[in-house]
Structure 1
Amino acid sequence: MPPNNDGSIEDEALAWLITATSGEMTPQQERSLADWLAQNPAHQQAFAEAQALWQGLGQLQERPFVADNLAKMEVERVSPTNATVHPIKPAYAKRTFPLSQLMLVAACLAMVAVLCPTMTSTLRLWNADYHTATGEQQNVTLADGSSIYMNAASALNQDYSSGQRRIELLAGEAEFKVSKDKSRPFVVVADNQEIKALGTDFVVKITSQGIKVSVVESAVQVSQPGQSSIEPVTVHTGEQLNIPEGQRPEPVAAINLSHASPWRSNRLIFESEPLSQVVEDINRHRPGHVFLSRPALGELRVSGVFNLDEIDSLLDAINKTLPVKSIALGERYVVLY
């Protein structure tokens, strides 16, 4: 294999590994790879790291050439002094990336397996009474005249009875404008919390970190059934309650009402918001997926007002204002690292 003039040993190792797992490697290429490995211990180390990366992506289980034949090649390869490097180009894409970048992608692909919902959860969301897709919003008018404004990537179920109007928010975010009916309380259930309307207009948002309840008009009472040690919290107009996952509610905080549901005005507004939450909001509205390579990046703070029709401008702003870089995987997927 000729040296890769615009790359590195890691690039060459990845190129050889791709060839070895292509299912089309010729005997002559096998000998060339053995010779390349024999030339330098650094080649062996880079190839081993590339193999570990590939195994992390699950490819070697489908293409077992390396696992089955690498040991054989180690025995058969000639010494560096007698090695003959055959000028055979491996069958790989014209552009290669440094191993560190591909390891970054591998880490993010692993995140997908962790973060993406299970098939059961996905079916539950799509079988909900009401649901929205990525980038889609929906307005729902209920039988009692109450209105629900659903943000993108959201799902909920409705359960009305003679004694209660109950809504289960399964995922995402919604604003509720409630018609008065003293005989039937209006209750939203989200992430083991019950939000009882004491007025007419409030927003509930489920995130990976917990839930947020913002009141636009009047008040709501938030409680956690089965937790007698946690007192119900009343949230009034212009206030927000944040309840971290598995923790007690934080103190009620004032909120600018324009920040309660800016998506209804086709905007995203952030005021020192953690990057992890910003990425969640981007993924709610942007096709594909944006990944954070390291949890520590999620602690960076973002502020600004952005148009939902120009969501990629938010990614540009992140690149320009924060100590992060990005890798685009096609048009739909972006890795921040």
Structure 2
Amino acid sequence: MRAAGSRAIQCDGVLTVTDTHYRHLKQAADWYALLCDETVDESQRAAWRRWLEQDPAHRKAWSVVEKVGERFEPFREESHRKPAYDALRAPDMASIGRRRALLSLGVLAVAGLAGWRTLRDTPLADHLAALTTDYATGTGERRELALADGSRAWLNTLSALDIDYGPRQRLLHLRTGELLLEASRDPRGPLRVTTRHGEVAGEGATFGLCHQAGGLCVSVFSGTVDILNGAGARARLEQGRQLTFSASGPLGPPLPVEAARRSWSKGVYVAEGVSLQRFVEELGRHRHGYLGCSPEVAALRVVGSFPLADTERALDMLPLALPVRIRRVMPWWVSIEAA
């Protein structure tokens, strides 16, 4: 595992938070931890209220921390609630409380930048749809499926899949998340996978599909696949290549396939020089709560193999090779900062 020293804020096509936004998030997390302490006094609560009123960005940051924290509130006994939980119910927090009611369905995972996106850009709608799919996985869960035609499929964390096999077709619908397929040959023709961005079809091939911020990433590990997006753009993708496309516009250029798009099925994330920000977003999908990194270190490069079933150990591996430290403000709020 090693790192290179680039400091760019925009890395690997993933937009990271600005230094100001990150600082506000860090302050909000510190206030939340303080208010959760049984020894907090009224002067400290008053100081928190003053900080909250100083800047609309403070309220925005606080709402992000709150959305993460409220997911863990049901695990607290009523008699042991901390002052922060009472404070959140104060009249001046009513608007945040209404937003929390909308988002407290237990399906919002906040990692990396997710907390700064609008509701339209969060996975909430996908996860609500996943409640009615044939197969779905939760946070940190991976699942292997044996399909009726002899094909094999693996679902990554937070994924949802419908199966629609008939006399004349083999059709899968990947609603959200990531899928790895070993598609068998069949008289009915290629195994087709539809997504909100378009369709991918292959037989006698091993390929993966992953919903990402920039669209759908398709990776081919053996054989070939045919790609068709919502705008009618087509391409044939060969073994060892991957590309990303969205429902509209041209298809992205073919690039060398990333090992990580297959290694997750074995419980390992293989980082091949990805930015630390990208690493955080990938690992964050496999754990509850908030995981973020400071813009100061977001562009550092990571190489290595990391266990997905033990994300705490994966995080503890980072300071062994990178100039970073792991800051655990609360068990469910972790950030990576410069050492």
Q: TM-score, normalised by structure 1?
A: 0.63
Does residue 52 in structure 1 map to residue 59 in structure 2? no
SS state at 1:144 partner: coil
Partner of 2:127: 122
1:138 matched to 2:143? The reply is: yes
Which residue number in structure 2 is paired with residue 282 of structure 1? 283
Distance 1:223 1:135, change over 3 A: same
- 1:159 is displaced (CA, Å) by 1.6
- Name the residue aligned to 1:38: none
Contact 1:216 1:260 in 2 (8 A): no
Determine the structure 2 residue equivalent to 1:267.
268
Partners of 1:302 and 1:245 lie apart in 2 by: 31
Mapping of residues 172-191 of structure 1, within 5 Å: 172-191=177-196
Q: Distance in 1 between matches of 2:211 and 2:316?
A: 26
Structure with larger RCO (C-alpha < 8 A, sep 6+): 2
Which whole-Å CA distance do the structure 2 matches of 1:109 and 1:240 have between them?
A: 25
Structure 2 runs not aligned, ≥5 long: 1-26, 36-40, 67-86, 94-111
Deviation sequence 1:45-75 (CA, Å, 0-9, x none): x974443366443698842479xxxxxxxxx
Q: Quick one: which amino acid aligns to residue 234 of structure 1?
A: R
Maintained 8 Å contact 2:185/2:203: no
Name the aligned partner's letter for residue 211 of structure 1. Answer: L
State the alpha-carbon separation in 1 of the partners of residues 218 and 274 from structure 2: 16
Match of 2:215 among 210, 216, 220: 210
Identity %: 25
> Where does residue 233 of structure 1 map in the other structure?
235
Structure 1 or 2, whichever has the larger Rg, is 1
Aligned to 2:285, the other structure's residue is in SS state: helix
Deviation of 1:143 (Å): 1.9
Deviation at 1:149, TM superposition (A): 1.2
Give the CA deviation at 1:298.
5.2
Q: Does 1:305 align with 2:305?
A: yes
CA distance, structure 2, for counterparts of residue 323 and residue 111 of structure 1: 26
**By how many angstroms is 1:116 displaced?**
4.1
Quote the Cα distance in structure 1 between the aligned partners of 2:214 and 2:313.
25
Equivalent residue of 1:251, what SS? coil
Residue 63 in structure 1 maps to residue 90 in structure 2: yes
Q: Secondary structure at the match of 1:281?
A: helix
Give, in angstroms, the shift of residue 138 of structure 1: 1.0
Query: Structure 2 CA distance, aligned partners of 1:245 and 1:300?
Result: 31
Could you report, residue by residue, the CA deviation over 1:124-156 in whole angstroms, capped at 9, with x for unpaired residues? 113211011112111112222221111222111
Superposition deviation, residue 322 in structure 1: 5.4
Give the CA deviation at 1:273.
1.8
Contact 1:199/1:220 (8 A) holds in 2 = no
- Which residue matches 1:84? none
Matched letter for residue 240 of structure 2: G
Question: Displacement, 1:197?
Answer: 0.6
- Structure 2 partner of 1:335: 335
1:223 equivalent to 2:228? Answer yes
1:261 counterpart SS class: helix
Does the residue aligned with 1:279 lie in a helix, a strand or coil?
Answer: helix
Q: 1:323 to 1:269 in 2, by over 3 A?
A: same
Closer, same or farther: CA 223–205 of 1 in aligned 2, 3 Å: same
Q: Residues 202 and 126 (structure 1 numbering): CA distance in 2 closer, same or farther, change over 3 Å?
A: same
Structure 1 residues 251, 321: closer, same or farther in 2, change over 3 A?
Answer: same
Distance 2:157 2:260 in 1: 16
Would you say how many aligned residue pairs link Structure 1 and Structure 2? 260
With over 3 angstroms needed to count, the CA separation of the structure-2 counterparts of 1:317 and 1:183, relative to structure 1, is same
Q: Is the 8 A contact 2:200 2:228 kept in 1?
A: yes
1:154 paired residue among 159, 168, 171? 159
Match of 1:253 in 2: 255
SS in 2 for 1:223: strand
Q: TM-score if structure 2 supplies the norm length?
A: 0.63
Kindly indicate whether the alpha-carbon contact (under 8 Å) linking 1:55 and 1:61 is maintained by their aligned counterparts in 2: no
RMSD: 4.0
C-alpha spacing 1:260/1:183, structure 2 compared with 1 (3 Å): same
**Retained in 2: the 8 A contact 1:283–1:289?**
yes
Gaps of 5+ in 1: 1-9, 19-23, 34-42, 67-106
Q: CA deviation at 1:117?
A: 3.1
